[in-house]
Amino acid sequence: MTFCKRLAITAGEPAGIGPDLIIQIAQNSHSDELIAICDPELLYARARQLDLPIVIEKFNVEDDPSPTQARTIKVLPVQLSRTTTPGELDSENAKYVLETLTLAANGCMNGQFDAMVTAPVHKGIINDAGIAFSGHTEFLEELTGTKKVVMMLATEGLKVALVTTHIPLSQVATAITQPLLHDVIEVLQYDLAHTFGIENPRIIVAGLNPHAGESGHMGREEIDTIEPVLEELRSKGYQLQGPLPADTLFTSKYLDQCDTVLAMYHDQGLPVLKYKGFGNAVNITLGMPIIRTSVDHGTALDLAGTGKADTGSLTLAIHYAGEMSRNKSKSFHEQ
């Protein structure tokens, strides 16, 4: 198992804080090799605006991975369609953004990279360019041919995975089916064991309704959908607790006894996690044949080029990508 992992970092929306964050994190050394996938001229320009020193080296896949030295970054170059100004979106650069993601994902699939880390993109400007784009996760799911991906956010002391993600609340109950819940828990169980290195992971499952349905008086989804799946998977050895009321499970009584929480929908689980660790949390896509982590924030166009962007989330995303890569390598060699 190689200690030093090669991590691809996509710079995201060029008018946003992604390039700033790469320049800022490159001021420090890293035990893994960081490869920025972006236009090197964009990084030079942003470094000048931030008044930070940087040495850019062209990435050579034939070289052995080596730790990143302070004030140095290796780059797999992709040329911008049009020179960008911090804070000013330009739909001409939409294809550039998607090319960086494609190179990173393909590089992970062919073994060129051990994991990919994504800075924020701007969904609106990509769609304005006439390209249907609902987000990183869906784009990478299609690109990698993955059957089912699961979105997880993690911060110190708390991991929250989601059964449903970016759909209207009015559609959540119908979307949660036994097959979907079964697939999500299987993905979660596998990745907790193989990419997080958690032996016999303990998962707390939230109910959908207030008070987890109150024995059917406040909804039957727990009885008809959730509980049968949990019982089936418990019979296979999965450590599943629930369904529990979401308003009480996020307490030490339960969280101290679990490795992750599975929430039924986006705004059931993520407000708690972001209250606990916004800016120091990481977005992780589970279920793919590659490892992908991301920041927990948006493009912050108003902060681009100002030097005020917080690197906490990107630093954590890089840390998780490296550790997950090592756990995955260890799991592979132990099989």
Residue range 229-250: mean pLDDT, rounded: 97
Residue 3, pLDDT score: 85
CATH architecture of 1-146+288-334: 3-Layer(aba) Sandwich (3.40)
274 marked ligand binding residue: yes
Instruction: Measure the CA–CA gap between 290 and 301, rounded to whole angstroms.
Output: 29
pLDDT on residue 335:
56
SS3 270: helix
Per CATH, 1-146+288-334 and 150-283 having the same topology is answered yes
pLDDT score of 111 more than 60: yes
What are the start-end ranges of the E strands in the chain? Answer: 6-10, 33-38, 55-58, 72-77, 115-118, 150-155, 158-162, 202-206, 239-244, 260-263, 282-286, 292-295
136 is an annotated ligand-binding site residue:
yes
| Tokens standing for residue 98 | 């998607």
Helix boundaries (H) for 162-262: 172-175, 178-194, 221, 227-234, 246-249, 252-255
Question: For the chain, what percent of residues have pLDDT higher than 90?
Answer: 93
pLDDT grade for 2, boundaries at 50, 70 and 90: low
Asked which of 41-45, 105-109, 179-183, 274-278 is least confident by mean pLDDT, the reply is 274-278
pLDDT confidence tier of residue 254, bands split at 50, 70 and 90: very high
Mean pLDDT of 124-152: 93
Q: Is 297 labelled as part of a ligand binding site?
A: no
- 325/163 Cα distance (integer angstroms): 24
Cα 282 to Cα 321: distance, rounded to the nearest angstrom: 10
pLDDT category at 76 given cuts 50, 70, 90 is: very high
**Mean pLDDT on 6-24:** 98
Q: Look at residue 166 in the predicted model and tell me its pLDDT.
A: 84
Q: Where do the structural domains in the chain lie, given as residue ranges? A: 1-146+288-334, 150-283
Once rounded to an integer, what is the mean pLDDT over residues 279-285? 93
Q: Does the annotation list 166 as a binding residue?
A: yes
Q: Report pLDDT for 329.
A: 81
pLDDT confidence band for 279 (50 / 70 / 90):
confident
Of residues 182, 236, 247, 158, the one with CA closest to residue 208: 247
Threshold 0.85, pTM exceeds: yes
Calculate the average pLDDT of the chain. 95
Domain 150-283, second-level architecture: 3-Layer(aba) Sandwich (3.40)
Give every strand in the sheet of 260-263, ordered side by side.
55-58, 72-77, 33-38, 6-10, 115-118, 292-295, 282-286, 150-155, 158-162, 260-263, 202-206, 239-244
Q: Determine how many CB atoms are found less than 10 A away from the CB of residue 91.
A: 17
- Please indicate whether residue 33 or residue 329 has the higher confidence score (pLDDT): 33
**pLDDT higher than 70, residue 120:** yes
Cβ contact 119:8 at 8 Å: no
Which letter, b or e, does each residue of 241-271 get, where b requires 16 or more Cβ atoms within 10 Å of its Cβ?
Answer: bbbbbbeebbeeeebeebbbbbbbbbebbbe
- The average pLDDT across 192-204 equals 95
Q: Which residues contact 31 (CB under 8 A, 6 or more apart)?
A: 3, 4, 67, 322
pLDDT at 278: 84
